[in-house]
Structure 1
Amino acid sequence: MSVMEALRRWREADRALSEASRRYMRLNESDMRAIRMLMQAQRQGQIITPRDIAHEVGISSASTTKLIDRLVAAGHLIRAPHPKDQRTICINVTPQTAKAARETIGRQHARRFDVAASMSSDDREVVVRFLTALAKADEPQGDLAEQ
């Protein structure tokens, strides 16, 4: 039970941190998911379209248009012509939003890295096995997998 209680406390802290980040950047959960995905894609040199955002966030194309419109108006995203397909556009995170995210989220990732780095190699292997098994146990089963 102590393992599950520690995991619960970490999840609560993680949720509180995510909520604080959303409030700081004045974004909702879908907005944050889209921005995180866009930032990762930009780092990898990938081109992201509205369709990619809809798939990642799990929303309709109409909702994706509203999300993009809202984030463009707020100065978080920019639309650009797609370099290979004139029928669509690509979406990028503005430099200001990328910087704000790096400053807030980046500091948190650094703190998490420090915690992991302070552990012995054997302890890290145990944690990785535990979290991998937990992720597998949490995969939707039966009726949940079909929804």
Structure 2
Amino acid sequence: MARARMDRGDEPSMFDPRVLDPDQEVVSLRGMDDAEIDQIVELLRTLRLWREAEERMSEASRRYMKLGDTDMRALRFIIAGQQNGMVVTPGAIAEHLGISTASTTKLLDRLAAAGHVRRLPHPSDRRSVAVEVRDETRRAARDTVGRSHARRFDVAARLTPSQREVVTRFLRDLAATADEDHHPTS
């Protein structure tokens, strides 16, 4: 088996099992030639590039809107609910985010104080309130997160249906490895 391919100059690829596991204690390379291994290493390296780019995009959106990740997730949920004619309640937000009602109250207090949301009387349940995103925040979210999502959607739309199925299965299987990593077998 040939020597591991280098990423930049003399730096070996940190995704290459020929570098990280040359004795094949964890990763079996049986039946694979170097071209096949190189292709898999390049796929993993490219996934890392996507993950880093996605993290930069998310961070830029959060910085632009001066919000944390949970706050951004709440705003996206409220916006989607509003756009689909749903009355968004604090309980629905708590359920969507998987957080307590007390945490949701703090989150909504923060978002309201920053001018992102407003609480209104619920149209049919006087014990509850409706939460709405202010127009300025909705526009800012559309111009940051929305446009990024549209570009990603366009990339996925360029694939054929069978290519999308392969990519979807691959990413789902890859995501499942994270669950396996948290529950290793003996």
TM-score normalized by the length of structure 2: 0.68
Q: What is the percentage of aligned positions where both structures have the same residue? A: 53
Whether 2:124 is the aligned partner of 1:84: answer yes
Map 1:10-89 onto structure 2 (within 5 A).
Answer: 10-89=50-129
Counterpart in the other structure of 1:113: 153
CA RMSD of aligned residues (A): 2.2
Change (3 A) 1:134 1:75: same
Higher relative contact order (CA 8 A, sep 6+): 1
Unmatched 5+ stretches in structure 2: 1-40
How far off is 1:140 after superposition? 4.3
Q: Larger % of helix: which?
A: 1
CA distance in 2, matches of 1:124, 1:50: 36
TM-score normalized by the length of structure 1: 0.84
Q: State which structure, 1 or 2, has the greater radius of gyration over its C-alpha atoms.
A: 2
CA distance in 2, matches of 1:34, 1:18: 14
Of the three residues 88, 92, 95, the one matched with 2:135 is: 95
Query: Runs of 4+ in structure 1 displaced over 4 angstroms?
Result: 138-141
How far off is 1:107 after superposition? 1.5
How far off is 1:36 after superposition? 0.8
Query: Paired residues, what number?
Result: 143
